[in-house]
Chain A
Amino acid sequence: MFRNQYDTDVTTWSPAGRLFQVEYAMEAVKQGSAAIGLRSKTHVILASVNKANSELSSHQKKIFKVDDHIGVAIAGLTADGRVLSRYMRTECINYSYSYESPLPVGRLVVQLADKAQVCTQRSWKRPYGVGLLVGGLDESGAHLYYNCPSGNYFEYQAFAIGSRSQAAKTYLERKFETFMESSRESLLKDALFALRETLQGEKLTSSNCTVAVVGVGEAFHTLDKETIQALINEFEIAGEDAPAEVPEEAASDEPAAPEEGAAPADEGAAPMDI
């Protein structure tokens, strides 16, 4: 019936010092379809894979505009993600009411993390089952954060969450060092390449992904279908049947990056470290 005797309650410790319910919530993030984010000095790109629940339904929205300068991409329980994005919108709007200036991204992320943390310390609550990539621009430049159900948050150059995100992470790890100086266009290109890595036996098209941009002189917005398709065509990213090799870096020096399946390498570790 139970996986073990310490996982019936969020607030119950295991003797090994783990909180199983919190770890299960972290698993929920991995079940969701992938979302990726990357940034340069001036821009942040968020991108996600759209998966419809059934042949008959449309897909759920995974990227939300929070304010002109902040947006989120989510993986995990979409419903929880919407609640949290609404909270973030409220915080932003209240801040601009009081100070007539945009809420610094780092502060919003801390508030969000504190909100998630409370759920890990109250017996009558449950942790949020969603991971959020928060991208935004403020006085100190472009930022990308990852917020997880455990209440932890991290700042990244580039990151991917959700199912098969390891493949995208591998791609990003190989290239992130150049991102800081990247132009908006090459950042978009890397976003689409990374996103393609998370697709299995499927072509990347404008109808199975969402891409959003925020940057200097550019309020947060999701790109429309035509723009995305044009980018895919331009870079010949579609993939699958195309020679999966990325033109300029022939994936040679790297010993075949550990694919998705290798993710369980960290299975034993407490996921809170992620």
Chain B
Amino acid sequence: MNVMDSAPAKSSLMSPESDIQRTQFPYVTGTSVVGIKYKDGILLAADMGGSYGSTIRYKSVERLKPVGKHSLLGASGEISDFQEIMKYLDELILYDNMWDDGNSLGPKEVHNYLTRVMYNRRNKFNPLWNSLVLGGVKNGQKYLGTVSMIGVHYEDNHVATGFGNHLARPILRDEWHENLSYEEGVKLLEKCMRVLLYRDRSAVNKLQIAKITEEGVTISQPYSLKTFWNFSAFQNPTVGAEGSW
């Protein structure tokens, strides 16, 4: 950038590319999403914070959305980019429904579509600044996968984005199993979200949990977790840490 600024005459040689506006960095962001498979389907959890840089500016951002009948999407990263993605997906589902032929896109199809969109945008050096979690159930098949902002994608029994990868997945690796009931699943997700709340400064104590089964999607009302801050280590965290204030 600096090179171009100091030589404005040259920048016209770079046009029209030099005129294109890209998302160079995210503005309003959401933090981790955590998703697990459970006995009857998929559970996703995300808090409702929207950070403007390091300021937690918004506190009621819905980051879990249904996509058609069979899929559920959770997003972290740039909130407006997520809204753009939802626009693509709603259009996709609309056109799919317009065939009116009994066929419909399942979670696998939507996941692959998202992968293509994300990878295509990164190839234009204009990525959608998100990490996405896609879960769904179709024809008795559970599906849970993730896509990153550059198009990296994989499926797993439990997935997480951002900080969740570091703080939630180790817990899930220890405690997740195939036959989790709905209640156990929610409990496990709450355990993950509580750890994230304690250690991720962007997390807020207002979250939603979404469920998708063969019957359809249910997204919970926002609620808070019980926390306990009176551990002595929390009282004065810098004591004994020389050089910090």
Binding site for B on A (CB under 8 A): 97-101, 104, 106-107, 110, 138-140
Contacts and interface: CB of A to CB of B under 8 A. Distances in A.
A106 B101 contact: yes
A106 B99 CA distance: 10
B116 A98 contact: yes
Given A101-B109, A140-B103, 19 more contacts: A97-B116, A98-B112, A98-B113, A99-B105, A99-B109, A99-B112, A99-B113, A100-B108, A100-B109, A100-B112, A101-B106, A101-B108, A106-B103, A107-B99, A107-B101, A107-B103, A110-B99, A138-B103, A139-B139
Nearest to A139: B103
A97 B103 CA distance: 18
B102 interface: yes
Contacts of B112: 98-101
Contact of B102 (A98, A99, A101, A140): A140
A139 B141 CA distance: 14
Contacts of A98: 112-113, 116
* 10 cross-chain pairs, A with B, having the tightest CB-CB distances, nearest first: A99-B109, A100-B112, A104-B103, A106-B101, A99-B112, A101-B109, A98-B113, A98-B116, A99-B113, A140-B102
A236 to B, nearest CB: 42
Interface string B65-109: 000000000000000000000000000000000010111011011
Contacts, number: 29
Interface string B108-132: 1100110010000000000000000
B101 to A, nearest CB: 5
A110 B98 CA distance: 13
A163 to B, nearest CB: 33
Nearest to B109: A99
Interface in B121-170: 139
B101 A104 contact: yes
Interface centre among B112, B113, B139 (most CB of A within 10 A): B112
A89 B235 CA distance: 67
A251 to B, nearest CB: 38
A117 B116 CA distance: 31
B102 to A, nearest CB: 6
B144 to A, nearest CB: 16
A139 B108 CA distance: 14
Nearest to A101: B109
A4 to B, nearest CB: 39
Contacts of B105: 99
A104 B109 CA distance: 13
B245 to A, nearest CB: 53
B117 to A, nearest CB: 9
A99 B117 CA distance: 11
Nearest to B112: A100
Residue of A98, A99, A107 ringed by the most chain B CB atoms within 10 A: A99
7 contacts: A99-B105, A99-B109, A99-B112, A100-B112, A138-B103, A139-B103, A140-B103
Contacts of A110: 99
Contacts of B139: 139
B140 to A, nearest CB: 13
A99 B103 CA distance: 13
A57 B139 CA distance: 51
A97 B102 CA distance: 22
Contacts of B101: 104, 106-107
Contacts of A107: 99, 101, 103
Contacts of A99: 105, 108-109, 112-113
Most chain A beta-carbon neighbours within 10 Å: one of B101, B102, B103, B106? B103
Contacts of B108: 99-101
Nearest to B104: A139
Contacts of A139: 103, 139
A95 to B, nearest CB: 9
Contacts of B109: 99-101
Nearest to A104: B103
A205 B108 CA distance: 45
Nearest to A95: B109
B97 to A, nearest CB: 13
Nearest to A97: B116
